A and B are shown apart, each in its own frame.
Chain A
Amino acid sequence: MLRGFWIAGVSLLLVIGAVLVGSGRERSVRQPIQFNHAKHKAAGLECSFCHQGVDGQAFAGLPPLETCAICHTAPMTESAEEAKLATLIVKGEPVPWQRLYGLAPHVFFSHRRHLQLAQLECKTCHGPIEDATTPPVRPAVKHSMKWCMSCHEQRGASLDCMACHR
């Protein structure tokens, strides 16, 4: 009888454990260079300096090597991360940045619409990334359909399926 409880108890724990581990294991993003948003903000750079499409296009885009090369042809710090960047710049090899945010391909999203027209802040949708000293390993805000819809409802923006789906 007691043995039966033991087996049941242990199996239950195992199941709970498996569920916890499974749900905790979200895709985490590792960047090739430990880029520091906070330092570059302190250097006086606008977001759109590196994410060039953000004001006028659908995609914000990640910075090409040339953007980093504007300042980083000669080392400015002792940082090993900066040294990595310098090597790539000499070789002319693009930095293989990994995407942190990304919607399913059947969704249409435009930064221009949400910045130029809706006048939203980056923070609302990306969290405090400007203060990040190392690249975030997972999105600060989960971009689910529910999330889009709840703001659209509040702000009176379109709720038509076809407005967002393609």
Chain B
Amino acid sequence: MSADKTQPLWGMVIDLDRCTGCQACVVACKQENNVPFSSREEAAYGREISWIRVMAVTEGEFPKVKIRYMPLLCQQCDAPPCTRVCPTRATYKNPQGIVGQIYPRCIGCRYCANACPYQVKYFNWYNWSHFRWPAEMRESLNPDVSLRPKGVIEKCTFCHHRLQHAREQAAIEGRPVESTDFVPACVSSCPARAMVFGDLRDPESTVHKLAASPRAFRMLEDLGTEPKVVYLKEGEWNATTGG
């Protein structure tokens, strides 16, 4: 499917100078998308699912060590390597540029997970019922997001279910969808306001302006994946010297 220029091109900017590594986005994402919390054993097998995770990047050597935090989620590539290897077209880039995963269509071959240079596509090893969620937490399941069955790949969709509602609301109001119509759960939860979301194509939008900053970079951009998640480099502030 080709890009539809009449619709926003959704993108995210993450300011690493502001990110404190607090994990609020990680919790908000799991809550929003019905991602179960994993146990120690599952994590040890490498089976933990976390559509967004905070990577800690250690730099330097003792005593001059520095840790940088980097939230990592699906980069919503404009040239996604994952969709090209899918034998069933269960994963594809939709007209709004979002990389989707159609769960009933997915056969769980995991080609896409292996093709993803960011390692942000997760195989579902367990049925949802495997995680005996506390009764109180069942009440908080989000009805807008389906529970993924065992044996499929799942991933961040920029909270596409929020976009479904935003599109409907805009249609009811008889106007096109705008840059500020919705934000994903991670963005709305960030206490440091390190994450910004909107239409990369709209010159008035904050994401568009920030993406043009000299601090902006895209992860592994040499690969030609054209991510729609843009990071802003940290300044020269240094933990050891304090300035």
Contacts and interface: CB of A to CB of B under 8 A. Distances in A.
B1 A108 contact: no
Contact of A161 (B94, B146, B147, B168): B94
A112 B146 contact: no
A165 B171 contact: no
B146 A162 contact: no
Nearest to A104: B104
B98 A112 contact: no
Interface residues of A, number: 15
Interface in B172-205: 172
A113 B92 CA distance: 25
B160 interface: yes
Given A104-B104, A113-B168, A166 B146 contact: yes
B150 to A, nearest CB: 14
Interface string A146-166: 000000000000001111011
Interface in A117-144: 117
Contacts of A163: 164
Interface string A25-67: 0000000000000000000000000000000000000000000
Given A112-B168, A166-B164, A106 B92 contact: no
A112 B164 CA distance: 12
A148 to B, nearest CB: 14
B95 interface: yes
Contacts of A113: 168, 171
Contact of B94 (A104, A116, A162): A162
A110 B164 CA distance: 10
A105 interface: yes
B168 A105 contact: no
B95 A166 contact: no
B83 to A, nearest CB: 12
A112 B169 CA distance: 10
B145 interface: yes
B172 to A, nearest CB: 6
Contacts of B1: 160
Contacts of A117: 171-172
A161 B144 contact: no
Interface string B80-112: 000000000000101100101011110000000
Interface of A: 104-106, 108, 110, 112-113, 116-117, 160-163, 165-166
Q: Top 9 nearest A-B pairs by Cβ distance? A: A106-B146, A162-B100, A105-B146, A162-B94, A161-B102, A165-B102, A160-B94, A166-B161, A113-B168
21 contacts: A105-B147, A106-B104, A106-B146, A108-B161, A113-B168, A116-B172, A117-B171, A117-B172, A160-B94, A161-B92, A161-B94, A161-B100, A162-B94, A162-B98, A162-B100, A162-B160, A163-B164, A165-B104, A166-B144, A166-B146, A166-B160
